[in-house]
Structure 1
């Protein structure tokens, strides 16, 4: 069981029980984006009053964890980590490594959390799960999950492409007796106000933080996100196939369109054949990622890329998003019946 059971529907809980447990002052989580959300970003978000998350990729080493996790904790405030269930199904070591550093929250997504959730609870961490459809929501309502993260298909990076944020959030708020966090397409104070006003306990922000100064993303990636429009993304498995990363087929990735996706996103069979023939494409994309070549490298970003800017610090982003209070106050006055 979790160290701090949290039940959003209980009458003896405060309005935002999750905030009381995790200690954030601003209901803003940076999404745990592997390759972007390192210790520096997580620490900066937490120091600004939000809740910083560390992204644990499939090939992360213990040495990387031992370097980045203390950075994430360096603000002296709570922090968390996000991991992939399909990776942990093969090997629980990445979770064991991060739990040794004492995160107060762990998000286990993209597959059944299974034994990983129990292990995190044993260490005293709350456990969250990202959901992208009704079936995953039903799984997240089981007792071993404390927090539901509703990720709509507007969101960047990997996830399902079945339901948008608002319908999924409404369903979760109707069904869940536990905190619900909204994710997907959120990048402004107005967007945060919309989901908090609906009843979410926090907003889960990826794309805008991917372009933050503290993000581990290549500078060219950040610039591309800052220059994009809301309709410049594509949902595809092409980048995973090219890199020979065995993400489950139901979890494609939303990224900015580029020359590579324009060539291959609609011709997955031909891409798979080309990758199977030799290492040329895989090497090209791997090299492009290392060099920040945005014509070939995956630039994982959601539809909120058109609402994001490069060159902002995490503190500036959190402060801007904290303007949700003013938005809600104005809305309350506008629609008051008195």
Structure 2
């Protein structure tokens, strides 16, 4: 496995440890977003010097995994994948299929990662875990997790809605010498500089990459993200309830507000009753997703949607984010001692 180098000062050199282990030149990971982070995005991020992550959803097929993982590896650069622990609890086959393609890093989140983490380590890859509160952070500090991803509630898609990125990042950095990656609400060079200056090993960015040309997202979804404001999202379980998706109740999703969420997000009990009574709502939202009717279908995006634009390539996004170094240098000059 790409072991993390030993260090006499691990807390101050954790960035170098993770970079040495995974081989990226820009400390930018694309989030492993199911439905957006396919092989093309993964490969493009890695080719541009970042670390590309493939998103494996709950319903992905073996053929899809083999095809997309093959594309992800095509850059010749290290890459990784993200899977959901609550799905792997029922079936480890998707993880086994991903591991057959040789990722260097696998993130196992949203549930107990134990059996899956052991399988990843057997393959020789590093294991990461997304955490959204203090209890999950405590679990990630156990020996079977190599990298902690602090996902604040600003982030898009599924996760907890309890703690924002900076408090969670600061807590993690005070508790561990493991590499810590910051996630949630990051979309600009200034945002990356903020978490890197605090001590993060890298920035984990989803929403901005979801709108890139290589993303699997529908063109309408990319345009919706690019046109949204920072206060246009809602955190809710409404979309999962309507689609009858078995996400654990503690993990809602942050998405762009639309007519459906405006109608149902504040009355989940009534929504559950309606879904149980017949198939009308479930059929309507599934049809809306198929035809990209964004007044009904979910567009999972974080608060950083208001800082994102559609139409850029992954390489262009990484080049922009790499400006975090100049931001840090400016801050050092401004606040450095005389």
TM range (shorter): over 0.9
Say if 1:30 and 1:45, in contact at 8 Å, map to a contact too. yes
Residue in 2 that maps onto 1:330: 330
| Cα offset, 1:279, TM superposition | 1.1
Residue correspondence of structure 1 range 91-110 to structure 2 within 5 A: 91-110=91-110
Residues 26 and 12 of structure 1: CA distance in aligned 2, closer, same or farther (over 3 Å): closer
Match of 2:148 in 1: 148
CA distance in 1, matches of 2:173, 2:63: 39
RMSD of aligned Cα (Å): 1.3
Q: Check conservation: 1:7, 1:179, Cα contact below 8 A.
A: no
Mean Cα displacement is larger for which, 259-268 or 275-284? 275-284
What 5-or-longer segments of structure 1 have no aligned partner?
Answer: none
- Equivalent in the alignment of 1:208: 208
Q: Deviations over 1:174-212 (max 9, x none)?
A: 001100000000000000000000000000000000001
Mark the CA change 1:129 to 1:264 in structure 2 (over 3 Å): closer, same or farther.
same
Q: Give 1:10 deviation, angstroms.
A: 3.0
Please tell me whether residue 73 in structure 1 is matched to residue 79 in structure 2. Answer: no
Q: Could you say if the C-alpha distance between residues 14 and 275 of structure 1 is closer, same or farther in structure 2, counting changes exceeding 3 Å?
A: closer
How far off its partner does 1:34 sit? 0.2
1:11–1:231 distance in 2 versus 1, CA, 3 Å:
closer
Following superposition, the deviation at residue 16 of structure 1 comes to: 1.6
Q: What is the match of residue 64 of structure 1?
A: 64
Deviations 1:88-135 (A, max 9, x none): 011101100100000000000001101100000000010000000000
Give the Cα separation in 1 of the matches to 2:36 and 2:63.
Answer: 17
1:314 is aligned to: 314
- Which residue of structure 1 aligns with residue 277 of structure 2? 277
Change beyond 3 A, Cα 1:308–1:15: closer
**Counterpart in 1 of 2:18?**
18
Q: Do the aligned partners of residues 281 and 320 (structure 1) sit closer, same or farther apart at CA in structure 2, a change above 3 Å counting? A: same
Give the whole-Å Cα distance in 2 for the aligned partners of 1:81 and 1:313: 20
Is residue 5–residue 20 contact of structure 2 (8 Å, CA) maintained in 1? no
Going from structure 1 to structure 2, the CA distance change for 1:199 and 1:273 (only over 3 Å counts) comes to: same
8 Å contact from structure 1 (residues 219, 292) kept in 2: no
Would the aligned equivalents of 1:29 and 1:203 in 2 still touch at CA under 8 Å?
yes
Kindly report which structure 2 residues correspond to 1:1-338, keeping only aligned pairs within 5 A, or say none. 3-5=2-4, 9-10=9-10, 15-338=15-338
State the Cα deviation string for residues 26-53 of structure 1 (Å, max 9, x = none).
0000000000000000000001100000
Cα distance in 2 for partners of 1:173, 1:12 equals: 10
Query: Would the aligned equivalents of 1:235 and 1:253 in 2 still touch at CA under 8 Å?
Result: yes
Name stretches of at least 5 consecutive residues in structure 2 with no aligned partner.
Answer: none
Judging changes above 3 Å, is the alpha-carbon distance between structure 1 residues 7 and 146 closer, same or farther for their aligned structure 2 residues?
farther
Change (3 A) 1:273 1:323: same
Deviations 1:132-189 (A, max 9, x none): 0000000000000000000000000000000000000000000011000000000000
Distance, in Å, in 2 between the alignment partners of 1:165 and 1:13 is 21
SS for the counterpart of 1:135 is helix
Once the two structures are TM-superposed, the CA of residue 6 in structure 1 deviates from its matched residue by 5.1
Contact in 2 for aligned 1:7/1:13 (Cα 8 Å): no
Cα separation, 2, equivalents of 1:189 and 1:84:
29
Pair 154,247 (structure 1): closer, same or farther in 2 beyond 3 Å: same
Looking at structure 2, the residues matched to 96 and 270 of structure 1 have their Cα atoms a distance apart, in angstroms, of 40
Q: CA deviation at 1:288?
A: 1.1
The 8 Å contact of residues 152 and 163 in structure 1, kept in 2 or not, is answered as yes
Tell me if structure 1 keeps the 8 A contact 2:26–2:50.
Answer: yes
Instruction: Tell me how far apart the structure 2 counterparts of residues 267 and 11 of structure 1 sit (CA, whole Å).
Output: 46
Q: What SS does structure 2 have at the residue aligned with 1:255?
A: strand
How far 1:337 moved relative to its partner?
1.0
For residue 24 of structure 2, give the secondary structure of its aligned residue in structure 1: coil
